[in-house]
A and B are shown apart, each in its own frame.
Chain A
Amino acid sequence: MRGALVLRGALGAAAVAVALLVPAIVEATAANPPYLQQVIDLIAIFAIATLSLTLLSGVAGQLSLGQGAFMAIGAYGTSLLAVRYHWPLGLAALAACALCAVTGVLVGVPALRLRGAYLVMATLAFAGITYGAILNWTEFTGGPQGIQGIPAPAPFGTPLITERDFYYLILAALALALAIVTVVRRGHRGLRMRALRNDELAAMAVGVRPAYERTAAFAISAALAGLAGALLSMFVGYISPDLFTIDQSVQILTMALLGGMTSVLGAIVGAAGVQTLAELLREFSEYQLIAYGAAIMIVVILVPDGIVGGLRRALARLRKGAT
């Protein structure tokens, strides 16, 4: 038992060290360091968005194809507050995440009546409506032109310009998101959410209030997706509706399914896998959805609990064989 804990701690420390050294490794080995670092930054941003699904789906059992819309609200909220109303960037991002949480409740409450495919359709519709709104509400959102001139964050006074500087900000946000999902999952409320996901009738029989738990999960999940959107807007510097099409939501769901939602690591693995795939298929971007569809089908059939879930089971089997 103690040995396992020590091993865990060592692995965790190693992971942190590697994460901190990534820019140096990229610098030393990549043919085009800024490009690779940019891809890695995007992976970390999308890992946060994927974690929002790990919480909503993996813990509370609600599927959503609307996470891209929460990203959009996080991105537009941050950008509008910062650019048009000159709020400090950090405060703008915080307010945008809070707005996402409120929106999450507004979407989550009617969604309570829905399960499975119906819930997916409803959240998909939400993503469609949000996209339509930011595209057509030109006076407010800038329409197809989007919003430009989003300032670079400057947490320590000097603005973060390079992909490398940005990486540490995103890494800190990712660590926060990982901590939130891990803590919620292990806590008592998370336990009640997981029970609800397992068996709603039995959960009610021990006093779990389904509507309350699901709405709470929706709110936190939306805020996390909003955080990813806020980071994306700061990272790219300008935003436009085509960053937040329905495809974006599909991509996030693909990441979650590919990596697996039974563990927070799944979000990172899934984001890395899909983002790498997207970069490789950059020239065939119109076929991206086909690739995602194929990836989802393969994963769902071969490893229903995702890559990380599958690896864990394989590892457990190995360990059993060894003893």
Chain B
Amino acid sequence: MTLLALEDVRLSFDGLTALDGVSLPVERNELVGVIGPNGAGKSTLFNVICGYYRCDEGRVELAGRSLSGLPPWRIARLGIARTFQNPRVFKELTVLENLMVAERTSGLRSWLDVPRRVRAHAREWLAHVGLEHARDVLAGGLAYGDLRRLEIARACVGRPSLLLLDEPAAGMTGQDQVDLVEVIRVVRERDVAVLLIEHNMPLVLGTCPRVVVLNFGRPIADGPAAVVRNDPHVIEAYLGASDDEEVAADAPQPG
């Protein structure tokens, strides 16, 4: 069954086309790499899926349910979790608290304390990303690589059905990247689909069975890594790639 369906999604900012008719189905538990030159619209695509941007045209559906016009928090509760290109953690909260935020509780109990199951679940993810040692450290004091791990763990605590990772390996070195691949594997064991934006080509081509290539806001290739790698359009896009800044490097401030 198709989990996420994008159909002909278009979005432009002041006449500048960011997404130019993106159609993309993602199956349950699938791992899809999203690559493309700077400014190809990768982060913009994530922001549309998560409700931070509203697309001008087209449809976004999660498990058959339209996400059009829904606010980000609603989309998050429906099962789409994300990380940001520039890590955004709750700096004044401890690492464990950062994770506990992502759990859902309701009723009077949620006012009184943090339920034990919330704490336990958060700890579980803390272990999966190898941050147990930093459990009670304020998140603002973490090193860059740990910020990224924390963001991924936080995204997973909410039990999403789809996880969007925006350049998770940026600034990561060898062993960190190996760990990242392992974390992605753990995530997918829980029947989560993963969309992975990444500039690190060996990482994407090596881990993602399916790769989508965006260029100028349009998918120019979509298929197995081995095929996409040799696609003439892709080679041209990369060789002729301009160094334009990403249209929307990060999500905008609301309002």
Chain A interfacial positions (CB closer than 8 Å to B) = 113, 115, 183-184, 186-192, 194-195, 197-210
Residue of A nearest to B80 (CB): A205
Q: Which residues of chain A come closer than 8 Å to B254, judged between CB atoms?
A: 200-201
Give 15 pairs: A residue, B residue, CB < 8 Å, sorted on A.
A187-B113, A188-B110, A188-B111, A188-B118, A189-B111, A194-B90, A195-B101, A200-B254, A201-B253, A202-B88, A203-B90, A205-B81, A208-B101, A209-B73, A209-B74
Extra inter-chain contacts (4) besides given A115-B255, A204-B76, A206-B76, CB under 8 Å: A184-B111, A198-B91, A198-B93, A205-B72
A207 touches B89 (CB 8 A): no
Task: Kindly identify which residue among B50, B103, B112, B253 contacts A205, using a CB–CB cutoff of 8 Å.
Answer: B50
**Would you give the shortest CB distance from B164 to chain A, in whole angstroms?**
9
Most buried by B among A188, A195, A200: A188
B25 interface residue per 8 A CB criterion: no
**Residue from A115, A188, A191, A200 within 8 A of B93 (CB atoms):** A191
- CB pair A187–B90 under 8 Å, yes or no, is no
- Least Cβ distance of A109 to chain B in Å? 16
Which of B52, B102, B105, B255 is the one whose CB lies under 8 Å from A206? B102
Q: How many A-B contacts are there with CB distance less than 8 Å? A: 97
Question: How distant is the Cα of A198 from the Cα of B52 in the complex, in angstroms?
Answer: 18
- Do residues A199 and B89 form an inter-chain contact, with CB atoms below 8 A? yes
Contacts of A203 in B (CB 8 A): 73, 90, 101
Whole-angstrom distance from the CB of B92 to the nearest CB of chain A? 5
Contacts of A115 in B (CB 8 A): 255
Closest approach, in angstroms, between the C-beta of B123 and any C-beta of chain A?
A: 15
Tell me which of A183, A195, A206, A210 contacts B81 (CB under 8 A). A206
Count B interface residues, CB 8 Å.
41
Give me the 10 closest cross-chain CB pairs, A-B, nearest first.
A206-B102, A202-B88, A198-B90, A207-B76, A204-B72, A195-B101, A207-B77, A204-B73, A188-B110, A195-B90
Closest to A201 in B: B251
A189, A195, A200, A207: most-surrounded residue (chain B CB, <10 A): A207
Note all chain B residues with C-beta closer than 8 A to A184: 111
Contact flag A207-B114 (CB < 8 Å), given A194-B90, A198-B90, A200-B254? no
A113 nearest in chain B by CB position: B255
CA distance A99 to B166 in the complex (A): 47
> Interface 1/0s, chain B 62-98, versus A by CB < 8 A?
0000000001111011000110100011111100011
Are B110 and A206 in contact, with the CB atoms below 8 A? no
Give A205 to B93 CA distance when docked, in angstroms.
16
B113 touches A188 (CB 8 A): yes
Chain A residues with CB under 8 Å of B77's CB are: 207
Residues of A within 8 A of B82 (CB): 205
B58 at the interface (CB under 8 A from A): no
Report B-chain residues with C-beta under 8 Å of the C-beta of A194.
90, 92-93, 97
A304 to chain B, nearest CB (A): 13
Interface string of B10-48 (1 = CB under 8 A from A): 000000000000000000000000000000000000000
> Across the interface, do B101 and A192 meet the contact criterion of CB distance under 8 Å?
yes
In the complex, what distance in Å separates the CA atom of A115 from the CA atom of B255? 10
Query: Residue B89 contacts which of A183, A187, A202 (CB distance < 8 angstroms)?
Result: A202
Query: In this assembly, does B209 line the interface, its C-beta being within 8 Å of a C-beta of chain A?
Result: no
CA distance A201 to B179 in the complex (A): 27
Q: How far is the CB of B104 from chain A (nearest CB, A)?
A: 6
A210 to B73, CA, bound (A): 8
Partner of B101, one of A113, A200, A206: A206
Assess the A191–B101 pair: CB atoms within 8 A: yes
**Cβ contacts under 8 Å, B101 to chain A:** 191-192, 195, 203, 206, 208
With contacts A195-B93, A199-B90 taken as known, whether A207 is within 8 angstroms of B158 at the C-beta atoms is yes
Least CB distance from B72 to A in Å reads 4
Tell me whether B55 is interfacial, beta carbon within 8 Å. no
Given contacts A199-B88, A201-B251, contact A206 B155 (CB under 8 A): yes
Q: Determine the distance from Cα of A207 to Cα of B100 in the docked complex, in whole angstroms.
A: 12
What residues of A have a CB within 8 angstroms of the CB of B89 in the complex?
199, 202
Q: Kindly supply a per-residue 1/0 record for chain B positions 165-183, scoring 1 wherever the CB is within 8 Å of any chain A CB and 0 otherwise.
A: 0000000000000000000
Cβ contacts under 8 Å, B141 to chain A: none
| Residues in A whose Cβ lies below 8 Å from that of B118 | 188
Task: List, in ascending order, chain A residues with CB within 8 A of B72's CB.
Answer: 201, 204-205
- Give A220 Cβ to nearest chain B Cβ, in Å: 9
Task: A201 to B72: give the CA distance in the assembly, Å.
Answer: 8
Nearest B residue to A213 via CB reads: B73
CB pair B73–A201 under 8 Å, yes or no, is no
CA distance A82 to B72 in the complex (A): 47
A186, B111: Cα distance in complex, Å: 8
Q: Known: A204-B71, A205-B72, A206-B81. Contact between A183 and B88, CB under 8 A?
A: no
Asked if A191 and B114 make an inter-chain contact with CB atoms under 8 angstroms apart, the answer reads yes
Chain B residues lying within 8 Å of A190, measured Cβ to Cβ, are 111
Expressed in whole angstroms, the Cα–Cα distance for A206 and B103 within the complex equals: 8
Q: A35 CA to B103 CA in the complex, in Å?
A: 51
Bound: A191/B118 CA distance, A: 12
